Structure 1
């Protein structure tokens, strides 16, 4: 056996609070890799409700890699939440119409941070908040109730509001090696065969796998 099928909504029999996200999303601008799961005892299939202000006309994407663990209450703020900040008032008069539409800003006048990208093998803790355009590197850990306002390097643990690096999980040269190995891109048969090494701390043994 090579683990659960990535096409299953609920890979743990009798435990519906865990759900493989990619099998529950309808929004084409949310892209999620195999085996990435959301854990929520209330409704694990409703991950999309946690992606906020994600309007189609803005066009930004939320991209999440493979083998990520996303805890209950994690939320992603997308670019549609942004208000024009270059004028005196940030109030969005134009959305109410009735004469106020005359100050409709050009899309280029609104702050735009780009796509939000989460790498592979990332663990995001309970109630964390990810702001627009943030990039979280492979192997990173986001502590519970963190507010992530800037990019998170690969294999770095961050926490707080705003989230700041707590420590790197490995020395820089090891991080570089792990990102290059990219075990999450291996065929699932190879991953299954070498699980003991993947969950160990032996980077040299992982590197030696052909």
Structure 2
């Protein structure tokens, strides 16, 4: 029997040509069970070092019960060393001190409770590629199809289908003209079952705008 195009149930989804399972890459939704994470299917993380706790590896400051969430869409690709610095890592910026005293002595928590509860969610769209060693700072939203360059420090939102790089990261370019981005958003292939994605893969794995237009029109 032929293997499925994509198997969402696997922990390690890559098999090497010699038949060995590649241990460094995981489907994130198969290895993270955390109340503050929301992870779409087929989103993967790759690490060249052993990992005991994938949630702590990619988002080390996000603890169960924290006020913020990390929302990762479907088909997101996260390279080795990428980190999400979520809002719980933040310190008071407008006070006379930035020191988080309440972490070390809970008696003074009432002074810090309101500030600590203000964290915003970090939201990663579908089909986003986050490069090696990139860092996503608190409360950032990355639109669908964003590419984050290796080593980038992303401090603010990035629009769909943009390429961001640098420290602080800035938009280097848009991957496609706006009409093409609109077609991809209308198609929303990331929401399709894997079998349907396999059928349209000749278009997805191309830059044929005419074929994309026909595909979207045919599904409309």
Length-normalised TM-score, structure 2: 0.87
Pick the aligned partner of 2:118 from 112, 126, 141: 112
Query: Aligned in 2, Cα 1:111/1:84: closer, same or farther, shift over 3 Å?
Result: farther
Q: Structure 1 unaligned runs (5+)? A: none
Deviation sequence 1:39-65 (CA, Å, 0-9, x none): 112136742122021133432111111
Q: Distance in 2 between matches of 1:67 and 1:37?
A: 7
What are the equivalent positions in structure 2 for 1:158-173 lying under 5 Å apart?
Answer: 158-173=164-179
Work out whether 1:204 is the aligned partner of 2:206.
Answer: no
Q: How far apart are 1:111 and its partner, in Å?
A: 7.4
Is 1:6 equivalent to 2:14 in the alignment? Answer: no
Shift of the 55–18 alpha-carbon distance from structure 1 to 2, 3 Å rule, reads closer
In 2, are the aligned partners of 1:93 and 1:101 still within 8 Å (CA)? no
| Number of corresponding residues | 208
Residue equivalent to 2:158 = 152
1:88-125 deviation per Cα after TM superposition (whole angstroms, max 9, x unaligned): 1111223322xx83474243334734111111111100
**What do the CA deviations read for 1:144-166 (whole angstroms, capped 9, x no partner)?**
00000000111100000000011
Q: Which of the pair is proportionally richer in helix?
A: 2
1:52 alignment partner, SS class:
coil
Q: Give the aligned partner of residue 125 of structure 1.
A: 131
Query: Does the CA-based 8 Å contact 2:35-2:65 persist in structure 1?
Result: no
Greater mean deviation of Cα atoms: 119-128 or 106-115 = 106-115
| RMSD across aligned positions (CA) | 1.9
TM-score, normalised via structure 1 length: 0.91
Unaligned runs of 5+ in 2: none
**C-alpha distance in 2 between matches for 1:95 and 1:75:** 22
